[in-house]
A and B are shown apart, each in its own frame.
Chain A
Amino acid sequence: MKGRRLSRRDVLQGSVALAAGTVFASPARAQAPEPVAVTPALVEAAKKEGKLIYYSSMDLPVGEKLGKAFEAAFPGITIQIERSGSERLFQRIDQEFASNIRAADIVNSSDASHFISWKKNGWLMPLVPEDVAKHFPESYRDPDGMFATSRVWLSSIAYNTNLVKPEDAPKSFADLLDPKWAGKMVKGHPAYSGTIMTATFQMVRELGWEYMEKLARQRVMQVQSSTDPPKKLSLGERAVMADGNEYGIVLLKEAGQPVEPVYPTEGTPTISGPTGIFKTAPHPNAAKLFQAWLHTRETQQFFVDFTAQYSVHAQVQSKPGRRKISDIKLMKEDAEGVEKMAEEIKTRYARLFRV
Chain B
Amino acid sequence: MTITTTDTPKRRIDVTRPVLWLFAAFMIVLIVLPLSWLVVFAFTDKARRPTLQNFVTLFTDPAFLDPLLTTAIIATTSAVICCLVAAPIGWLVSRTDMPGRQTIRALLTASFVTPPFLGAVAWELLAAPNSGMLNQLYRYLTGAEDPLFDIYSLTGLIFVISCYTFPFVFVLVANALDNMPGELEDASAILGGKAWTTARRVTIPLALPALVAGALIAFLQAMTLFGSPAILALPAGFHTMTTKIWSLFQYPPKLELAAAAAVPLLLLTMLLLQGQKFLLGRRGFSVVGGKYGAPRPIEMGGWRWAALAFCLLVLLNPVFLPYFALLNAAFSPNATTLVTPSTATLHNIVFVFTELSSTQLALKNTVILGASTATVGTILALVVAYVTTRRVIASHRLLGFLATAPVAVPGIVLGVGLFLSYTRPPFVLYGTLWILLLAFLTINLPSAYQQLQAAFATIHPELEDASRILGATRLQALRQITAPLLRTGVIATWCFIFIGVMRELSAAIVLFTSQTKVLSVLIYDLNESGDLAAISVLGIAMLVITFAVVLAVNRIPMFGGGAGARLRNS
Contacts and interface: CB of A to CB of B under 8 A. Distances in A.
B253 interface: yes
B357 interface: yes
Interface string A49-65: 00001010001110011
Contacts of A90: 251
Interface residues of B, number: 44
A334 interface: no
B63 A350 contact: yes
Given A99-B428, A103-B515, A67 B131 contact: no
B237 A59 contact: no
A305 B91 CA distance: 62
**Interface of chain B, main secondary structure:** loop
Interface stretch (A80-88, A145-153, A322-330): A80-88
Interface in B417-450: 423, 428, 430-431
A229 B131 CA distance: 13
Most chain A beta-carbon contacts within 10 A, residue among B238, B336, B361, B531: B531
A351 B250 contact: no
Interface string A330-349: 00000000000001001000
Interface stretch (A173-181, A231-239, A270-278): A231-239
A228 B128 CA distance: 14
Interface in A218-233: 219-225, 227-229, 231-232
A121 to B, nearest CB: 13
A231 B530 contact: yes
B428 A228 contact: no
Contacts of B130: 235-238
Interface stretch (B308-316, B407-415, B457-465, B521-529): B521-529
A94 interface: yes
A42 to B, nearest CB: 22
Given A53-B514, A222-B237, A351-B63, A80 B128 contact: no
A235 B357 CA distance: 26
A139 interface: no
Contacts of B531: 60-61, 231
A225 B234 CA distance: 12
A53 B361 CA distance: 12
A236 B128 CA distance: 10
B252 interface: yes
Given A67-B357, A90-B251, A355-B238, A100 B428 contact: yes
B335 interface: yes
A94 B252 CA distance: 9
Interface in B268-317: none
Nearest to B124: A237
A223 B530 contact: yes
Given A81-B357, A224-B234, A355-B237, A96 B431 contact: yes
B356 A60 contact: yes
Contacts of A227: 529-530
Nearest to A64: B355
B203 interface: no
A64 B356 contact: yes
A68 interface: yes
A82 B529 contact: no
B249 interface: yes
Nearest to A257: B334
Contact of A79 (B66, B251, B357): B357
A191 B234 contact: no
Nearest to A94: B251
Contact of B250 (A79, A87, A228, A236): A87
Contacts of B513: 92, 96, 101, 103
Nearest to B526: A60
Contacts of A28: none
Interface residues on A, range: 35 or more
B177 interface: no
A148 to B, nearest CB: 23
B146 to A, nearest CB: 11
A191 B250 CA distance: 7
B38 interface: no
B304 to A, nearest CB: 42
A353 B251 contact: no
B247 interface: yes
Nearest to B132: A237
Nearest to A225: B529
B214 to A, nearest CB: 32
A103 B251 contact: no
Most chain A beta-carbon contacts within 10 A, residue among B247, B525, B526, B529: B529
B53 interface: no
Contacts of B428: 99-100
Contact of A192 (B152, B235, B528): B528
Contacts of B213: none
B529 A83 contact: yes
A284 B351 CA distance: 28
A82 B514 contact: yes
A95 B529 contact: no
B86 to A, nearest CB: 32
B339 to A, nearest CB: 15
A81 B249 CA distance: 23
B250 A355 contact: no
A82 to B, nearest CB: 4
Contact of A84 (B251, B431, B528): B528
B239 interface: yes
Contact of B252 (A64, A96, A343, A353): A343
Nearest to B360: A80
B67 to A, nearest CB: 10
B534 interface: yes
A2 interface: no
A237 B135 CA distance: 11
A97 B253 CA distance: 14
Nearest to A230: B530
B358 interface: yes
A100 B424 CA distance: 10
B357 A95 contact: no
A64 B528 contact: no
A95 B253 contact: yes
Contacts of B129: 237
A235 B430 contact: no
A223 B131 contact: no
B253 A82 contact: no
A120 interface: no
Nearest to B252: A343
Contacts of A232: 131, 530
A235 B514 contact: no
A98 interface: yes
Most chain B beta-carbon contacts within 10 A, residue among A80, A98, A104: A80
A85 B131 contact: no
B528 A235 contact: no
A354 interface: yes
A104 B513 CA distance: 10
A91 interface: yes
Given A96-B513, A235-B336, A82 B358 contact: yes
Interface in B202-254: 233-239, 247, 249-253
Contacts of B431: 96, 99, 101, 103
A34 to B, nearest CB: 31
Among all A-B residue pairs, the 5 with the closest Cβ atoms: A228-B530, A91-B251, A101-B431, A235-B131, A231-B530
Interface of B: 63, 66, 128-131, 152, 233-239, 247, 249-253, 334-336, 351, 355-358, 361, 423, 428, 430-431, 513-515, 525-526, 528-532, 534
Given A101-B513, A354-B237, 14 more contacts: A61-B355, A65-B355, A80-B514, A91-B249, A91-B250, A103-B431, A222-B236, A225-B529, A228-B530, A229-B530, A232-B131, A237-B129, A257-B334, A355-B239
Interface of A: 53, 55, 59-61, 64-65, 67-68, 78-85, 87, 90-92, 94-96, 98-101, 103-104, 191-192, 219-225, 227-229, 231-232, 234-238, 257, 343, 346, 350-351, 353-355
6 contacts: A55-B514, A90-B251, A94-B253, A219-B237, A257-B334, A355-B233
